[in-house]
Structure 1
């Protein structure tokens, strides 16, 4: 084993040493020799050094070093060792630096462009090292050339473009581009391979129309060029392409029937086409590019083809469709005759392009009739179906390049139903006949009758007819003798219609009997001037006087009008004369003519027939009057100033100008004067001041003079400056968010271009300026709705601003849609008041009322500005008791035209109750009604009190028979118990449930009891006087038990627990009245088996008391006087008083043994009325007994014990002695039991 290990280790060591020696030799070999390659560029004429470096300097020893050059396949040595073989080459050998470099001076392409190799050889000829340098002598390429220089191509046929560049080292790169694009185009490059060779690049193009005119760019570059430097050239391609046809102006081409048509065929081709060819249906029709049709017909609709050929061998064509549009052409039968009861079917034939959107049937003079569809159907026709029926079709035409519109076609069919004429009527061609003019009476019937009826015309109270024939009767020239009543009656072979009549009145149009003269000349100051005109007419004409188109109102203090009228004959013809007198308080001395009386005067007569007039032109002689507006002008120095003087004068005036007191002559070199006559007797004189200087500023006097006198006015010449403030702002119109205002402009300062700025100030003090520019009036926008604004305006020019004008306060309007409608609109005939309710709104509104007067048919506005008062109900007075119709609407304040719709008012004699809130009259009516109701309640109370007193007096007489003895000893032991078979405690079974059936039983039986057991009704306080009584029952136990049974004590489970007035209960204790029992026992025996309580005498020695007995409240005590007056019905110890309205229930007249009178069931018990139980006190009282004054002497001790002792005590009355008597009774116990 040790020997083997030693052998293995020796072998591994040998292998490692051999590997190290081999790698060391290899590394030496590589360091001494090897091959290196690199590429270098040098510009021709520059020096360059080719490096040959060694890693091992020892290879330079005893070895051969040399450089050789290889170019064009030839190899030359250029250096051996340290000796260069060319004068331009130099060797740099450094053994220490291990380098053997070759430096080339003034390099040339022919000599140096090639491959240089540095080699090191050993003596054996093996190469220990070599460095290869690929040296390129850089020469820029020659300018590129493209052939052909003017390339021409045909669409679809390939064409080649060749770009070439001669020379250049290295061979250049040639790239093609399309102008406007940086994308290289695919081409074929063929390098030249030398400086003297041609390098080419071929670009092949398959051209189309879009290539025509394109510019192609050839870019040449190599490394001899500086960065970014390129050489390029371009060429434009000329392409012949086939025709492109554009046809139109639209496809399809839609035109309306009868309209001119122009079909265009535009051809784009190269070479161009000389003409085109239009065909239709294979037939040649035209060669022009624009094919026109003067008037399109339906036959000309269809396809049209345009062909074009430019000689390249391909014929191109396009087609266009001509669509001729036309409105509906409707056809129906002219007429259709039917008998009554037949069915009507008419078909409406419609042709149209495009197809009609709607086809409907209408009937003349019957807006309610309408049928959709092309077939008219009416089943079982009657005479009312006769008439003309119209088939109406509608389509929509939308011609090319025109706005679309509806076209309507219709046709009428006369549907005639054979029948006699119906109700007749007569109409006049004019409302009234006019003297000496024709009038026509027209007669008709509804239904009209078929066959066509004839008409018989008569005049009332004449025997023979005036005319038998057509439906019209014409009077060619009406006279007063034609007045009267005319009748007509239609008839045909099927019968006659009714007779209709019309009253014909003949009126006379006003005829002027006395006209005004055409002209009149008066002198100013003339007195007592008047104008007179006279006319005749029927009815009586009215007269108006107008001056310059405006009606003269006598109350203005300038004129007075006197009118006279007189009847002429008995036909109602009147002659009217009117005199216009120039007099009034506004005239000098009340009657002098003034200059402003100049003008055109018209006397106008009007009646129901027509209006006629006569005119006069009056001229007034007067001295000149100034009529120009401004008395100042403004011009700057060296300008020509123009001063204008306007005067009205008759006769015409002469003018003179003065500077101070110096007259200005026409021939002055610095002045010029021009005079002009204007309309309306106005004359103008202009003074021109040439080249204004400072001395020219000041006042100038213009004097006008005629035969009536003279007049002077002063005009001031001043330098140009800021404008004057606007004045007299006024409102033009109101919008919801805008206001339009105008103003009187002040002097503009001599500058025509004046601007205006408006400033608005709202209620919230917010301000806003608005530039009106030169607009007057001006619209101010962006305002708030229905808001008050204070508006001022200032003027502005280049010289400055004026002051603000005086403010104008106005409010914006409101949208009509936001104005509410009046609600609950009534017209109260009694007070002539319109009342309406206005819904809550923030808008400022007024009410407008219009009416149709009684007997009238026209609306009349009676109230246009009635502001709302903010009440729930508004009122507006109308001065008419019974108008035919009345309407109300609401409008915005300040704008009577901005309103909501009218609402009809309902006419009532008195306003409904809901409208009383806003009416002062209804307020008092409400007070009166309240007083009447209060008086009625007081009277009812008095009647009830009287009835109670009467019943009390009646029952007082029976009190002796109903006395109950209560003389028993209070300490007497109670009787032994009496047991019955069955359930002892009825409170424990289901009979305690309060139902309506049991409640009604209690009401029926309770009427027999002098004491009542109260029962809660759920909502009212417990009634202490309601106890049921079972007919003929004398059992001492409510549950059918013994006399001494305590089962009554358990009855509190259902009602007796609430035994008194609870302090926590908000319901006060009942007020005590005579006859009421203050005790409250919440148990109704009728609800628990129907067993009443009797035998009061058996328990008379037990004073009635309650475990919760408390003193009677002070307010429940009866007044002393009332207590003395009230008498008990029974014994004094009972203290019983009949409750109100219950005296009639004691049918037994107080006899406890009388037969029981069973009343019918009453619902009063449900309401908690007072019912009594005879003889038995309530041992579980919730309230104290009321002490009877009559009992104070006899039973004072008992009363004291009732107030002090809270223990339950029972008394009974022996007077109820009847029925079954038990042996255990100490006095007598009466048991009366009824088993149900």
Structure 2
């Protein structure tokens, strides 16, 4: 049997050359590690590919029946040794070599003579040698089988045969992969082919997956020669994970240097079925009535052409998201997202919708039980998720609370009767929300205990007033069950009492006879309760019974004036006189006559007379009102006094001038007060002759009462029209003249008399007297506010008041002093600054201490309360609640609070109608800024003094803290000095004993440098932004440089400073505060000025005249932002027709 060579590698037999060899034959080749010597003693070295097993195949020479396998490099020489036993020469022997290749089979040598070039023989028969020498081996000639034969001449018997399988080594060609860019479908088999030709012997081909050193199972199809391709086929069933995977084929044969291979790679693209993921959570938790949002993400190649939502197999919607609004219980369940990308298999995922709902609490509603019985109340709660807490509370009993679904009350009494509330709390974790939602549900049970009524008490609903209904309420404690009937009687008329099912006794309209003692008594089947009583005092609202005439006319110079009116009421009404809504001055005399009506049961009649004992003047005209008030109401009557007088000019600075440009129309006005109505005439040197449609036109009108205005209109103004005009107003009592100057339009005049009309904690309402507007009615006003800090002014804040006067300045700091100035601006320029008004903001109401321990003693008729000590000047105001729910100050209010304990008497009339009283504290300087009112507790008597609440003033507390810190610092310095002194003495001792070696406990490093707390320039007066944040040196938590425990570093290193918050006085703009003018801090100040004049700005785009309608450097935000929001003036200011604008300008 002829020999054969097998190539065995990892994965099995890939191929063989020659005939099969029995498995027991020792000629099967071995896999030998790289760098191991082979059978020929040659050592081959090389670096095999990192992803391959580094194998080397020895060329084994097998001696199976005289056959050998031999390799020769192309162009090299080879020796085929044919050895035999010389004994065979005893016979006549013929020697020859036969070659078999792909072309033919022929002799190459006979005897000692070669038959072709390139061959030679070593013929030494006596030595048993017949070797064939091959020179310059080539593949086409020498790649094949060589046979050395010895035959007996004559008989043809083979005496000796030796076969050689000669392989001419040729390296394989570069491998080619097919397809080069394969596209596979998930689950469908694809063959990847790697081929190589030109190699001898046929190469080995292995496939590898990137990232793995293990070869993949593949099929090797040998080519059988260098001119035929050897193919390695890798069969892949692709998965999604194979998409983008890199596959490499490795080619090798024995012609390649040891450790060298050829390779080629491809990248596999896999079209895979859709992978569907649903969210955002699964299940989706949604509260009932809310919105459910489902999302579906699909991973597929190619992308899906269809994404649909279904439920129970029914189509719902398409798209990656699906929304359900106002979800309810039937919407709960599974929803399926399906995706299809045309590969024949759908991808889908299911998401569940779980409906959450708050607790639905059900109870039995009412439970009736007898005294001494055990009662159990049950609360059933339905919710998703289950309730986290279930509590029972009792209405009217803040101390009652039980937990659990069941409430057990053992041996109940009448005091246990009432309304019990079962309160369930559910915490719902809703998809998409970070914080859980809390939902509560309540259920009530009315527990009634069968018992007899107790003592009765009578209460009146409101004050008893003549002509109004009277309602009395009878209540028993305990109330009694079954529901009792009530008996009502007045005085001693018990026999006339009739039972009533209602606890209320109502008289539709009462008179003074309804006054008296009322009784009520409750009764049910279980017993009779004790009666209750109440004394009803009937009052009468103030009512004017004699009024002055509606109006009267007097003349200037009349010697005196008086008016009177009469009213009656209970309690006795107080009277005040008003002139045009304000209290009359001290020059008026008020005389009151009071008398109690006989048999009127406390009704008083009050007659009041107002007198003026001097000659009347025009200023005395007006409406005079007598107003009668009591705690239960008020009434009033008025008289209009008209004074006949000659015209009196009503002039202001702006009325004395008029302005108009050449060619335009001018309007001049003059105002006078006069009665009867005057006539107006105008002249300028000579009397003007006005006519309708002419150069001059005049008219007049009555503004209000005896205030009249005359108007002169000049059409087509020329230079000759500029000058002085005289307006004469005349009636039958005389005349007056006013002078009005007409000129060209120009800048406005400076405002004057700047003052505060109201002040709050962070706002000031400013008003001023306007100067002449220069002929521009739409003149604007700008206000600057500079805060005073320790005697110095901060950079001013600018406010644009537009045309509002007064103007509300907001965004100020509490309890701070500001300097205010105002200037006027129109299209021709701006005025100078007004005089400075120095004003301080008030304390916020939340900083005012509230009254504490407020009591009202019914016997003494005194309100007593306490106030925490504070360095504030306070006023107190005590108020009664009237029938309409309004709070009316008592007669003693306001009163000064100058101690911690305050007592305020209440008048007898006020005490008679007092139902509820409250007390609040206010600032003396700003009585309109007050704390919240605290309602007084009614007690029979005020027994024992109140304990004044202790407080420690803040300034004292700061002083104590500072002193304490200073004391401890001084103590620490003293200890440090002592330690230093001792250290020096020890150092001297160490020098004296220098021969002794002692360990040093203090490092020799110098102390670290001092760190300044903050950076230069922060928080200085020159900083653009005022007080800026300062940053201290960061403290690492240990010593600098990691000093030793005993180092002195802590004496040098300051404590770490935290970041300080910026406290700039400039507040931000709050667009939602539509009632305010807000300050805007100026962010840059290229030029500081001392007035409001216009200065050239570098940024012409922002301060250009084209953007400013007035040309004064103020940006017009109406042009830049046509859609800007409108912020109206506050209720304390005049109405505006334009929005406020931010002024970016700083006045220093």
TM-score of the pair, normalised by structure 1: 0.43
TM-score if structure 2 supplies the norm length?
0.46
Rg bigger for which structure?
1
By percentage of residues, which structure has more helix?
A: 1
